[in-house]
Homo-oligomer: A and B are copies of this chain.
Amino acid sequence: MTAAEPGPDRSLYGFDILSTPLLTDLYELNMFHAYLEAGMTAPAVFEFFVRELPPCRNFLVAAGLEQVVSFLREARFGEAELAWLRDSGRFSQRAIARLAAFRFTGDVDAMPEGTIFFADEPVLRITAPLPEAQFLETRIINLLHFQILIASKAVRMVLAAGEGRTLIDFGLRRAHGAEAGLLAARAAYLAGFAGTATIPAEPVFGIPIFGTMAHSFVQAHDDETEAFLHFARARPAAVVLLLDTYDTEAAARKVVELAPKLAAEGITIRGVRLDSGDLAEHARRVRRILDEGGLDRVRIFASGGVDEHLIAAHRAADVPIDGYGIGTSLTTSNDRASLDCAYKLQEYAGVPRRKRSEGKATLPGRKQVWRRHDGAGRMAGDTIALLDEAGEGEPLLQPVMRGGEPVGPLPSLERARRHLEAQLEQLPPGLRDLATDHSYPVTISPALRRLVATVNSRP
């Protein structure tokens, strides 16, 4: 056997669709071409923001900046892309030459990953020549939207779980494709999950990975106890046994019988997993069986249809579950599978711009978000202001790239995780509520209000 060739030949799609700048909407390249034809290449300012918080999200979590920066640094039109551009017949020689030479040359300012934010607040600002800032739109939104969506869902589970309950992402199989699976693992870890079952999250992001066994492992054996024995002997360092293939409580009793035999071999059963039925009821019964069998140190994990509401209900009822594997509700953010976000032109050639479409009007100009804290260190209110205004409190957008180059290394994923953890301590208590909507004061600065009025009065 020879190792597989690396590179595009291996890829499922021929293009490296994760990095290619061709992963965009056709209209972006149409506009790129049209801007060049019209000689409109002055600097433009685009900002990414979420228009409104959906029900059941009292705040959002900034995430995905690291992938946006990697994309901006690495996006190139290689041979495959240039061949497509030429063959497509849609673009001028000038546009193709410009794309062939493309490297991102702009500035990026953004909230650090893990920052808590609210509706209308710019999370990321791109300042670059108009054609360039324009055609990068689609992938920038694609990368930011998804991780914000998942981090903002995952943090609800983290708040529901409280201290001492382990949360693990089990969602790859129902994630929307490969990248969603990998990035959901990252966003969940950023939000406070202990780790994921998705293997590449470890080599790519350094995220702890966890894994037990599936029902098929038990089914493939003629005897459940034999399956447990085979698994424990093969993986003596991390024995977590799945109980619900046939009869959960009967399996728990088998675990109790098996424990001394394994102990004699130097193997400790660390945990059991429940994956169907009434998890709370099974957990109570299994806890009793294990405790009566002297296995009070064996932890109980639960999976299968878990979301933040179930975790909160279990916690309120003191259900003896020590950790959860969470799949679909996390990786698809199933109650809200998208956010109403946008990447909008706020300034071109030094002139502030505003979209005035019904229900979708934007705040013009380059902006900063300022956050105030009360005497107890709690978040007390934000102000969206023009960039050149003086603000009160802490400015949330920070320089990330200048002239296409990073101003320095981004905070690590671990640091982003601690950044969020620290802010959760500062969160007004109502905002931690899972089931009811609470609002947080976000005001528009007087100068920004005046600018809105000025731009509106233009013909």
Contact = CB atoms under 8 A, between A and B. Distances in A.
Interface of A: 1, 3-8, 10-20, 22-31, 33-35, 37-38, 40, 44, 46, 67, 70-71, 74, 76-80, 82, 84, 88, 90, 100-101, 103, 130, 134, 137-139, 141-143, 145-146, 149, 170, 172-184, 197-200, 202-204, 209-217, 219-222, 230-231, 233-235, 238, 244-247, 275-277, 304, 328, 332-334, 337-339, 341, 344-345, 348, 351, 353-360
B27 A213 contact: yes
A61 B172 CA distance: 21
13 contacts: A3-B78, A4-B78, A22-B203, A25-B170, A25-B211, A26-B210, A31-B213, A34-B231, A40-B230, A84-B199, A177-B178, A245-B356, A276-B358
Number of copies of chain A assembled together: 2
Contacts of A142: 172-175, 177-178, 181
A219 B78 contact: no
Given A145-B174, A170-B25, A37 B7 contact: no
A199 B357 contact: no
Most buried by B among A18, A74, A78, A183: A18
Given A6-B78, A76-B3, A22 B276 contact: no
A73 to B, nearest CB: 10
Contacts of A338: 174, 328, 332, 334
A99 to B, nearest CB: 10
Given A1-B101, A11-B18, A12-B19, 7 more contacts: A3-B100, A6-B7, A27-B212, A29-B199, A30-B235, A146-B175, A215-B344
